[in-house]
Amino acid sequence: MNRFSEDDPKGDKGANGFKIKRRYGASSLHSLWDKVLYAERQNIRRPIADDDWAEIQQMISDLMREHAAAVADPSVYEGTADTVAVWTQESFEMAKGLYDGLTEYEAVPQ
């Protein structure tokens, strides 16, 4: 995702150019996203065995519940978002408000 503006007509390089007040050791919005996503990661054995799918589904459900405010409509994820077209449209809709409430060089709200 790239933010384009009059001040940044070539884009912000996937939020790498969107500088924030340091948080969790991150100085750009993209690096903050990386740190948050990495904190949520769990090691999953590969190749993924049939028995592991239930565990993966539980992790997804837990993340969706914990971050419900970021999920526009949880029913979208219950078996209907298997297609690239649906995923792409959903990402596009989420991207529209990605920077809402953020000001460059200021602290990111909780």
The tens digit of pLDDT for each residue in 39-93 reads 656 666 677 788 778 888 888 888 878 877 666 666 655 655 567 778 788 888 8
Domain that holds residue 64: 19-95
Statement: the pTM of the whole predicted model exceeds 0.75? no
- Whether 73 maps to a domain, the answer reads yes
- Whether 38 maps to a domain, the answer reads yes
- Whether 104 maps to a domain, the answer reads no
* Residue length of the chain: 110
Residue 74's SS3 state is helix
- Whether 81 maps to a domain, the answer reads yes
- Whether 2 maps to a domain, the answer reads no
- Whether 46 maps to a domain, the answer reads yes
Q: How many domains does the chain have?
A: 1
- Whether 5 maps to a domain, the answer reads no
- Whether 26 maps to a domain, the answer reads yes
